[in-house]
């Protein structure tokens, strides 16, 4: 079974507080911006493999805020070493969600290497994350989210997903000075 990515993201909306930081990449980023546009969405598109690293930096610099990383499986495969770095940093405010669709979606749906056998929750557990979880059913995921967020991070949540409703790929915005300034102002408490 798989979960529609947009439904998984909508499930998370009520749990993301106004002061939480969300680092999202590629199609998950475009979906999230369409579903929950907010000033503390850090757009990391163009930094394939760097979502966890960017999220870690933000978590270390903002220990009073929770940081949600919405990663892609292809993106995470580009930098698996980040899992060890995140675990070693001991960040308790770090929640890593991997939307595993088993392809490089925005680059033409080429399959990721060894797609059927890759276990992202297993990678995170082996790297030393505090907890790791895997879901392929929306209802099970939705009922687990409150319990997951009650515990300190770093935590990994691997979701077996498929595309849902298509959201526009607004590259002009995500690469804009406006996007960076909006995030910076929100992060620093400037309106």
pLDDT per position as a tens digit, 150-159:
999 999 999 9
Does the pLDDT of residue 23 top 90, yes or no?
yes
pLDDT per position as a tens digit, 28-67:
999 999 999 999 999 866 667 899 999 999 999 999 999 9
Instruction: Specify whether the CB–CB gap between 48 and 78 falls below 8 A.
Output: yes
pTM metric for this prediction? 0.94
Where are the chain's structural domains? 3-185
- Sign for the CA dihedral angle at 156, 162, 164, 169 comes to positive
What mean pLDDT do residues 142-167 have?
96
Instruction: Specify whether the CB–CB gap between 174 and 43 falls below 8 A.
Output: yes
What class, spelled out in words, does domain 3-185 have in CATH?
alpha beta
C-alpha–C-alpha distance, residues 114 and 10, integer Å = 29
C-alpha–C-alpha distance, residues 14 and 4, integer Å = 17
What mean pLDDT do residues 135-154 have?
98
Q: Residue 173: beta bridge partners? A: none
Radius of gyration of the chain (CA): 15
Which DSSP symbol is given to 2? -
């Amino acid at each position: 079974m798989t979960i529609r990515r947009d439904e998984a993201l909508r499930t998370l909306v009520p749990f993301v507080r106004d002061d939480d930081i969300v680092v999202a990449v590629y199609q998950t980023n475009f979906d999230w911006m369409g579903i929950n546009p907010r000033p503390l969405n850090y757009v990391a598109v163009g930094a394939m493999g760097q979502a966890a690293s960017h999220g870690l930096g933000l978590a270390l610099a903002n220990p009073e805020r929770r940081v949600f990383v919405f990663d892609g499986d292809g993106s995470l495969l580009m930098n698996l070493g980040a899992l060890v770095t995140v675990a070693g940093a001991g960040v308790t405010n770090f929640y890593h969600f991997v939307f595993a669709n088993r392809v490089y979606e925005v680059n033409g749906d080429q399959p990721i290497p060894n797609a059927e056998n890759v276990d992202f929750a297993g990678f995170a557990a082996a790297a030393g994350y505090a907890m790791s979880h895997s879901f392929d059913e929306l209802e099970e995921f939705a009922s687990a989210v409150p319990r997951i967020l009650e515990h300190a991070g770093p935590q990994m949540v691997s979701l077996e997903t498929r595309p849902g409703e298509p959201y526009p790929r607004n590259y002009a915005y995500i690469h804009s000075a406006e996007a960076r300034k909006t995030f910076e102002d929100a992060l620093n408490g400037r309106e």
